[in-house]
């Protein structure tokens, strides 16, 4: 017999349930750290548009607080809709290394590429305390024949030079340090908890002196903020001076969830740009093709001027144009499971194919049912 007191609320499942069950680790002024249980660490990104097959994110959320961060929407899958949640509630996958060791089979991964740090920075402040990234690198160092890329704004990456060199003895590895500007004041208000551009460049030099393939991401390039020739040339010249093996670039991608953080930033610091940005992103999260083509040509010209190699050591994705972005949602699988970005590094501007920093792949940690793991295709928002 049915009871009158049957709970009519839908049962919370997937990533939201995992988030609710997360164990508090530490609460400090800037952020709260929690431990989250996941069933899988390797997230498959099988889109033919993406140059890597797998992504790994040691954390969910990122304390660096970059105002333009596209990955803020990933916290929505955990039932968190305030833009501040992404930088104030940091979930550490503390059992990630053990899970990765189980998943890292030669039959599955030999010769395939893995991008570490696609929806969160692997060297954010939490890493000093919990060392999840280092534990993952220790597992990767035991494998052979991988193609690993690490993308970060954190100078803490130099702590792991020993492991990166060990990985390089058995596999291919490169590090991409993101630098959007050398203007320290602008960097401080755009990326206010991230290490300064000077510290990132110093880390680049240390990595290169250790024999590790390492370069610079200029990403995202922001209209009327960081897209002028002076700013871009300063970053590229500094990359060359500090020994960069490559320079990639990509332009701003601004989902509605990211706009919640970015537009108040404009209101406070650049109110004269607010209306211009609102117009640019009124219909799409993507900048138009003409703008992208102009910026990528400028970057390519500056790379040639400063003798930066035109081709990447690793194949990297190029930016998706608005017209393509409008078509891709038709290709998405009809699953309600949440998704994470499949973006490892911004593209070389000379690429002839187009994808996006908005491209995403479904997090296998949220797609486990009855003990079986599903893989996924990538789509775009």
Each residue's pLDDT tens digit, 293-336 = 999 999 999 999 999 987 655 555 444 444 443 333 322 222 33
Residue of 144, 145, 171, 175 lying closest to 159 (CA atoms): 175
| Paired tokens of 260 | 């919640």
Structure tokens belonging to residue 243: 């020994």
In this prediction, residues 130-146 reach a mean pLDDT of: 94
More confident site: 359 or 245: 245
> Is the confidence at residue 266, as pLDDT, over 50?
yes
Does 174 score more than 50 pLDDT?
yes
**What is the reported pLDDT for 366?**
28
Look at residue 208 and tell me whether its pLDDT is greater than 70: yes
Q: Which of 1-5, 262-266, 334-338, 358-362 has the highest mean pLDDT?
A: 262-266
CA distance 142 to 233: 39
The token pair at 358 is 């908005």
109-123, 166-180, 214-228, 290-304: least confident range: 109-123
4-18, 48-62, 135-149, 231-245: the lowest-pLDDT one: 4-18
- Planar angle of CA 16, 366, 80, nearest 5 degrees: 25
Spell out the domain ranges in the chain. Answer: 14-380
Q: Does domain 14-380 have CATH number 3.30.420.40?
A: no
Give the CA distances from residue 325 to residues 111, 116, 260, in Å, rounded to whole numbers and listed in that order.
29, 24, 21
Tokens of 167: 């990985």
Work out the mean pLDDT of the chain and round it to a whole number. 78
Instruction: Evaluate if residue 240 carries a pLDDT over 90.
Output: yes
Helices (H) and strands (E) in the chain, counts: 14, 16
By the 8 A CB rule, do 249 and 235 touch?
A: no
Answer whether residue 235 shows pLDDT above 60: yes
Q: What is the mean pLDDT of residues 227-251?
A: 97
pLDDT recorded at residue 368? 25
| 96: Cβ contacts below 8 Å, ≥ 6 apart | 38, 41, 56, 58, 132, 135, 136
């Amino acid at each position: 017999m049915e009871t009158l007191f049957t709970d009519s609320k839908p049962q919370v499942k997937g990533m939201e349930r995992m988030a609710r069950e997360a164990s508090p680790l530490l609460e400090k002024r800037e952020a709260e750290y929690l431990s989250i249980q996941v069933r899988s660490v390797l997230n498959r990104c099988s889109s033919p548009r993406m140059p890597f097959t797998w992504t790994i994110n040691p954390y969910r959320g990122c304390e660096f607080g970059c105002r333009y961060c596209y990955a803020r929407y990933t916290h929505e899958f955990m039932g968190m809709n305030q833009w501040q949640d992404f930088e104030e509630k940091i979930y550490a996958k503390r059992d990630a290394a053990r899970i990765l060791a189980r998943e890292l089979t030669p039959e599955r991964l030999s010769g395939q590429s893995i991008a570490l740090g696609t929806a969160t920075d692997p060297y954010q402040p939490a890493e000093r305390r919990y060392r999840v990234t280092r534990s993952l690198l220790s597992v990767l160092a035991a494998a052979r024949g991988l193609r690993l890329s690490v993308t970060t704004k954190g100078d803490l990456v130099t702590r792991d030079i020993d492991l990166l060199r060990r990985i390089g003895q058995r596999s291919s590895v490169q590090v991409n340090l993101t630098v959007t500007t050398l203007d320290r004041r602008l960097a401080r208000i755009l990326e206010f908890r991230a290490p300064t551009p000077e510290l990132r460049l110093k880390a680049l030099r240390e990595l290169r002196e250790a024999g590790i393939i390492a370069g610079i991401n200029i990403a995202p390039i922001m209209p009327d903020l960081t897209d002028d020739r002076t700013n871009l040339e300063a970053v590229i010249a500094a990359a060359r001076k500090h020994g960069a093996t490559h320079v990639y670039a990509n332009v701003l991608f601004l989902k509605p969830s990211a706009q919640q953080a970015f537009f108040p930033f404009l209101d406070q610091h650049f109110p004269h740009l607010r209306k211009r940005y609102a117009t640019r992103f009124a219909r799409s999260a993507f900048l138009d093709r003409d703008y992208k083509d102009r910026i990528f040509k400028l970057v390519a010209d500056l790379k040639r001027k400063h003798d930066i190699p035109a081709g990447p050591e690793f194949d990297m994705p190029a930016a998706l144009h608005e017209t393509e972005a409008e078509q891709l949602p038709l290709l998405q699988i009809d699953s309600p499971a949440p998704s994470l970005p499949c973006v490892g590094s911004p593209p070389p501007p000379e690429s002839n194919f187009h994808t996006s920093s908005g491209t995403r792949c479904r997090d296998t940690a949220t797609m486990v049912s009855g003990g079986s793991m599903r893989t996924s295709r990538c789509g775009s928002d």
